[in-house]
């Protein structure tokens, strides 16, 4: 058999695991409405994502509590693998598509309300550790059995290091929503890249990151780099205007930007395309597939039931053709 024949064989990958996604197929996770959640999850499933966490942007805590309660029921039913609160604890200077009016410090009362509403299904909370009570908040989140993620932050290198010491284990979309890497002020990027306890998320849509800044984490943090979509409801339907939380977003030419200010506002990416983009940028196929499956599954603590194919364990494998397009998505539940 020639090498060209070998290379066209279909590939079987563990089902993709998206640890940062807001919606898709015209529907958003934000309200927690069952129809919307099911629609968005089904859309991403067609693109190979068999486990995902529903990510919520900043909203009033009372609204988030309502959404979290609804999503927790859907997590119990297995529609989503958990809930990710990306807000309301970002830093004002790097809040991206989070309503600056609604940002707040991660005080114990808010955290307990949200964690309580999640009833064990809050998979991850993103916060800026420099906010008042930030390090205590990291400990509180981790003690509750959730992942503390560092993101949308202006924290310096040392503060991020202390947050990792306190138990933070994920970098929310590394590079985006934080100061850039600088040789005298290394900032969050260096602190998160160099610590072996941290998994770094990358939004690999060809817009959020230059291909070199995609290759850098794969080289510096092999086995700790996760591909995420940060996809919003417009993923699938395409160009037009949609809401992300309460903020208006325009989607044009594959870019989602706030109507006010023009900040990038999530993506219209799917994980299969993130994998293809990574391979096109020079990442080996196996590393790219792991970054979309095994690595995020382990980061979320669900590696026993997702992210791998092994004898005796449940699996939702994805069949990919030679161009890494999804051919079929199999299900553990039949």
Task: Catalog residues that contact Zn ion under the rule CB under 5 A.
Answer: 86, 230
Closer CB to Zn ion, residue 214 or residue 318? 214
Question: If DSSP codes are grouped into helix, strand and coil, which group holds residue 67?
Answer: helix
Closer CB to Zn ion, residue 207 or residue 330? 207
Closer CB to Zn ion, residue 13 or residue 30? 30
Shortest distance, position 56 Cβ to Zn ion, whole Å: 9
**Residue corresponding to tokens 């807000």:** 87
Identified catalytic residue from 36, 230, 298, 316: 230
CA pair distance 72, 169, nearest whole angstrom: 22
Q: Which residue has the closest beta carbon to Zn ion?
A: 230
Shortest distance, position 86 Cβ to Zn ion, whole Å: 5
Q: Which of 125, 121, 153 is nearest to 137 (CA)?
A: 125
Closer CB to Zn ion, residue 36 or residue 316? 36
For residue 105, indicate whether it is catalytic. Answer: no
Q: Are the C-beta atoms of residues 248 and 241 closer than 8 Å to each other?
A: yes
Residues sharing a CB contact under 8 Å with residue 18, sequence separation 6 or more, in sequence order:
44, 49, 51, 52, 53, 228, 229, 231, 271, 296
Shortest distance, position 11 Cβ to Zn ion, whole Å: 29
Q: Which of 266, 237, 236 is nearest to 249 (CA)?
A: 266
Shortest distance, position 305 Cβ to Zn ion, whole Å: 24
CA pair distance 84, 148, nearest whole angstrom: 10
Q: Which of 155, 188, 157, 158 is nearest to 173 (CA)?
A: 188
Which residues are tagged catalytic? 230
């Amino acid at each position: 058999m020639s090498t060209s024949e070998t290379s066209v064989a279909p590939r079987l990958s563990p089902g993709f695991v998206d640890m940062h996604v807001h919606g898709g197929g015209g529907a958003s996770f934000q309200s927690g409405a069952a129809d919307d959640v099911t629609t968005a999850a089904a859309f991403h499933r067609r693109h190979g994502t068999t486990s995902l966490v529903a990510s919520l942007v900043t909203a009033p805590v009372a609204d988030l509590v309502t959404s979290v309660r609804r999503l927790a029921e859907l997590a119990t039913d297995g529609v989503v693998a958990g809930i990710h609160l990306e807000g309301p604890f970002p830093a004002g200077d790097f809040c991206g598509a989070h309503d600056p009016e609604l940002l707040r410090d991660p005080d114990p009362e808010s955290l307990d309300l949200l964690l309580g509403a999640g009833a064990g299904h809050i998979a991850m909370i993103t916060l800026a550790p420099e906010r008042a009570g930030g390090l205590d908040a990291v400990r509180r989140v981790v003690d509750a059995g959730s992942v503390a993620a560092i993101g949308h932050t202006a924290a310096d290198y040392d503060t991020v290091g202390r947050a990792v010491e306190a138990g933070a284990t994920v970098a929310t979309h590394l590079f985006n929503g934080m100061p850039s890497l600088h040789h005298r002020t290394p900032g969050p990027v260096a602190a998160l890249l160099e610590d072996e306890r941290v998994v770094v998320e990358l939004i690999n849509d060809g817009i959020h990151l230059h291909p070199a800044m995609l290759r850098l984490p794969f080289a510096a943090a092999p086995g700790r780099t996760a591909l995420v979509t940060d996809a919003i409801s417009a993923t699938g339907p395409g160009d037009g205007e949609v809401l992300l939380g309460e903020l208006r977003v325009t989607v044009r030419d594959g870019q989602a930007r706030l109507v006010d200010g023009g900040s990038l506002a999530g993506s219209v990416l799917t994980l299969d395309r993130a994998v293809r983009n990574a391979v096109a940028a020079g990442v080996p196929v196996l590393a790219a597939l792991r970054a979309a499956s095994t690595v995020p599954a382990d980061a979320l603590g669900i590696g026993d039931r997702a992210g791998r194919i092994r004898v005796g364990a449940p699996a939702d494998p994805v069949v990919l053709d030679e161009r890494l397009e999804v051919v079929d998505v199999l299900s553990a539940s039949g």
